[in-house]
Amino acid sequence: MDCDVVIIGAGIVGLATAYRLAARFPGLAIGVLEKEQAIASHQTGRNSGVIHSGIYYKPGSRKAENCIKGRQQLVAFAGEQGVPYQLTGKLIVATSPGQLPRLQRLFENGKRLGIEGIRTLDSPLIHQIEPYCQGIAAVHVPCAGIIDYTRLAHTLADRLCQTGRSNKVLTGHQVIGIEKDGFHKRVITSGGLISTRYLINCAGLWSDLVARMDGIRPAMRIIPFRGDYLRLSPQAAEKVRALIYPVPDPDLPFLGVHLTRRIDGTVEAGPNAVFSFKRQGYSRTAFSWNDTKLALAYLGTWRLFLRHWRYGISEYACALSRKEFLRRVRRLVPAIGPDDLLPGGCGIRAQALGRDGRPIDDFVIERGRDSIHVLNAPSPAATACLAIGEHICELGASLFSL
3-state secondary structure of 203: coil
Q: Where are the domains of the chain?
A: 2-45+150-219+361-399
Q: Is the pLDDT of residue 284 over 90?
A: no
State the Cα–Cα distance between residues 311 and 267, nearest whole angstrom: 26
Give percent of the chain above pLDDT 90: 94
What is the mean predicted confidence (pLDDT) over 250-268?
A: 90
Q: Is the pLDDT of residue 251 over 80?
A: no
pLDDT digits 0-9 by tens, 139-172 = 999 999 999 999 999 999 999 999 988 999 999 9
What is the mean predicted confidence (pLDDT) over 214-230?
A: 95
Specify the amino acid at residue 258. H
Instruction: Work out whether strand 184-189 and strand 192-201 pair parallel, antiparallel, or are unpaired.
Output: antiparallel
CATH no. for 2-45+150-219+361-399 = 3.50.50.60
Q: Is the pLDDT of residue 249 over 90?
A: no
pLDDT of the residue at 1: 76
Q: Is the pTM of this model over 0.85?
A: yes
What is the mean predicted confidence (pLDDT) over 188-207?
A: 97
Beta strand segments in 297-362, E: 341-354
pLDDT of the residue at 206: 97
pLDDT digits 0-9 by tens, 349-376 = 999 999 999 999 899 999 998 999 999 9
User: What are the φ and ψ backbone dihedral angles of 282, each rounded to 5 degrees?
Assistant: -95, 30
Alpha-helical runs (H) found in 38-175:
43-46, 62-81, 100-113, 123-129, 149-163
Give percent of the chain above pLDDT 70: 100
How many CB atoms are closer than 10 A to CB 200?
30
Rounded mean pLDDT of the chain? 95
Q: Is the pLDDT of residue 252 over 80?
A: no
Residue 320: name the closest of 223, 225, 224, 228 by CA. Answer: 228
What is the mean predicted confidence (pLDDT) over 180-205?
A: 95
Banded pLDDT at 255 (limits 50, 70, 90): confident
pLDDT of the residue at 335: 97
What is the mean predicted confidence (pLDDT) over 319-328?
A: 94
pLDDT of the residue at 139: 98
Cβ partners under 8 Å of residue 172, min gap 6: 34, 35, 36, 37, 190, 191
pLDDT of the residue at 165: 87
